[in-house]
Amino acid sequence: MSGDLRLGVNIDHVATIRNARGGLHPDPLRAAQVAAAAGADGITAHLREDRRHIDDRDIARLRAEIDLPLNLEMAATEEMLAIALRHKPHAACIVPEKREERTTEGGLDAKGGFDKLLPFVTRLGEAGIRVSLFIEPDLTQLDAAKALGAPVVELHTGAYCDTPAGPGRLAQLEHVRTAAAHAETLGLECHAGHGLTFDTVEPVAAILTIKELNIGHFLIGEAIFSGLEAAILRMRLLMGEARAASKR
């Protein structure tokens, strides 16, 4: 058990594989059911503007058929806001989105985009949807997230995960640690995600002020070799061990 550290399983790339051929297989809903059975605390799905993986029907089915909280990752666009307000997921994580990027490269500019983001944070919050902002572990971005009224931030762990093991990665981890401490000072709930693997999850899970990790690509890739349930169980085990060691 990971105790007070939740795991959100991102199922986007089940849909990526499905869409490579069209048709219905493999089904992201089935992946969400397996994740639920394996002890995931939530399901995360990113409905991108170009629908390259998750599509509108997936979101409707996840809302209708999965009991776990749904965390909808979305760009700050009117189209996505309307979809979020229609489906009312438990949570919405606002992410930056560029059509040509392969994945979410870097965090949201909560500071520079303050005026644009404010109506999205406000309208989602008024609808009872827990809003998080996906930002770099950067103190000015955390301050902007607080000023925007978002109750949650998700720290982008891509730079930490992508840096080869060694002093450079440790320096990136320190940014995450410092940002998580600052989030607590500001009264923001702190989540983290992007690029996490069995090799990189433990130091992040050991940061006690981080309350949720959202992990997708690695788990879906690992599922090819070990099955999704086994991949999730191992991830939870590593999270739980790191958390317990940090509390000792």
The residues annotated with a catalytic role in the active site are 46, 73, 194
Note whether 97 binds ligand PXP by CB under 6 A.
no
Are 212 and 236 a contacting pair, CB within 8 Å? Answer: no
Q: Which stretch binds ligand PXP (CB under 6 A): 143-151, 164-172, 175-183, 213-221?
A: 213-221
Of residues 53 and 146, the one with the C-beta less far from ligand PXP: 53
CB of 248 to ligand PXP, least distance (A): 28
Q: What is the phi/psi pair of residue 22, to 5°?
A: 75, -175
CB of 45 to ligand PXP, least distance (A): 9
Note whether 210 binds ligand PXP by CB under 6 A.
no
Note whether 236 binds ligand PXP by CB under 6 A.
no
Q: Which stretch binds ligand PXP (CB under 6 A): 60-68, 165-173, 215-223, 226-234?
A: 215-223
Cis peptide bond N-terminal to 203, omega within 30: no
Q: How far apart are CA 108 and CA 117, in angstroms?
A: 10
Among 28, 42, 84, 104, contact with ligand PXP (rule: CB under 6 A): 104
Q: What is the phi/psi pair of residue 52, to 5°?
A: -70, -25
Q: How long is the chain?
A: 248
Distance of CA 7 to CAs 97, 166, 234, Å? Answer: 23, 26, 12
The position carrying tokens 């949650």 is: 152
Among 43, 70, 91, 93, contact with ligand PXP (rule: CB under 6 A): 93
